[in-house]
Amino acid sequence: MSESKLAGQFFDAAIGLLQRVRDEEGERIAEAGTAVADAVAAGNRLFAFGAGHSSLPAQDVVYRAGGLALMNFLAVPGTAGVDVMPATLGSALERVDGLAGAVLDSSPATAGDVLVVISLSGRNALPVEMAVNARALGLTVIGVTSLAYARETRSRHASGTFLKDHCDIVLDSKIAVGDAELALDGIAAPFAPASTVVTSAIMQAVMAAAAGELAARGVEPPLLRSGNVDGGHEWNGRVMREYGDRIFFRH
């Protein structure tokens, strides 16, 4: 099989997943957008969390041209990227009990805020406890996960529960267990993961829904512009000043 055909098969698989999410999760994505809009309109704050590769869709909505300026990345040291050495440490930290509570207690998150917790499997201690502790603090929790893992794997948390069990709104990415869309004779392992593509699209769809909901209420969405277009820096400076008490990636 030619390399170009495999590449095309990956695009087809990713497009198929995106269409499923659009058609099957649209109502819940709109609900999540309303929750984000509610927090913005009420003067509350927005946070996104993900560990390992699940941190990528969370980071994609923070300080982003065309995105909401109020979205903050809730970082757990050692879990937010592959720059940690060794990279396997990040995976190990996802299984540490108590880490999520310590991070939340030292964060600016408080009752009325929104936290998006992204975890493909939703089975490790860190995302489960992040959701549990956030709800205990009075935050609205939006979980972005694959429900297939809850059906086909076991939780690694002592409670036996998954991220989905501790969220106000759950968005299912439809990713199959193993996160690999392709297989080929002569290649021992399945390959070509699509979770980042799909989960990033879910996050941007939620932000788009939130912007539309705010506009429908007569509230100007606090959006950032690209710094690479004329007037972008000036626009962003105004937004940063106006909403500075809810933006934490500048401090």
Q: Are 103 and 97 in contact (CB under 8 A)?
A: no
DSSP state, residue 194:
-
pLDDT tens digits, residue range 221-241? 999 999 999 999 999 999 999
pTM, full prediction: 0.94
The predicted pLDDT at position 1 comes to 57
Question: 48 forms bridges with which residues in the sheet?
Answer: 73, 116
Four-residue CA torsion sign, 15, 17, 21, 23 = positive
The predicted pLDDT at position 130 comes to 94
CA distances (Å), origin 185, targets 34, 190, 192: 46, 10, 15
Token pair in block for residue 205: 């769809």
The predicted pLDDT at position 6 comes to 94
Average pLDDT over residues 50-74: 95
**Spatial CA neighbour of 42 closest among 214, 170, 237:** 214
CA distances (Å), origin 233, targets 68, 147, 169, 239: 15, 41, 35, 10
Q: What are phi and psi of 50, to 5 degrees?
A: -160, 150
Q: Check pLDDT > 80 for residue 36.
A: yes
Average pLDDT over residues 49-66: 95
Q: Check pLDDT > 70 for residue 2.
A: no
DSSP labels for 54-110? GHHHHHTTSS-TTSBTTEEE---TTSS-TTSSSTHHHHHHTT-TTHHHHHHHTSS--
The CB density around residue 109, as the number of other CB atoms within 10 Å, is 25
Alpha-carbon gap, residue 218 to 216, rounded angstroms:
5
- Residue, of 187 and 3, whose pLDDT is higher: 187
The predicted pLDDT at position 93 comes to 76
Which of the residue ranges 85-89, 93-97, 139-143 has the most confident prediction, judged by mean pLDDT?
Answer: 139-143
| 94 — pLDDT class (breaks 50, 70, 90) | confident
The predicted pLDDT at position 90 comes to 75
1 burial level (CB within 10 Å; 0-12, 13-18, 19+): exposed
CA geometry: angle at 34 spanning 241 and 171, to 5°? 115
pLDDT tens digits, residue range 108-165? 999 999 999 999 999 999 999 999 999 999 999 999 999 999 999 999 998 999 999 9
The predicted pLDDT at position 185 comes to 92
3-state secondary structure of 169: strand
The predicted pLDDT at position 149 comes to 97
DSSP state, residue 189:
S
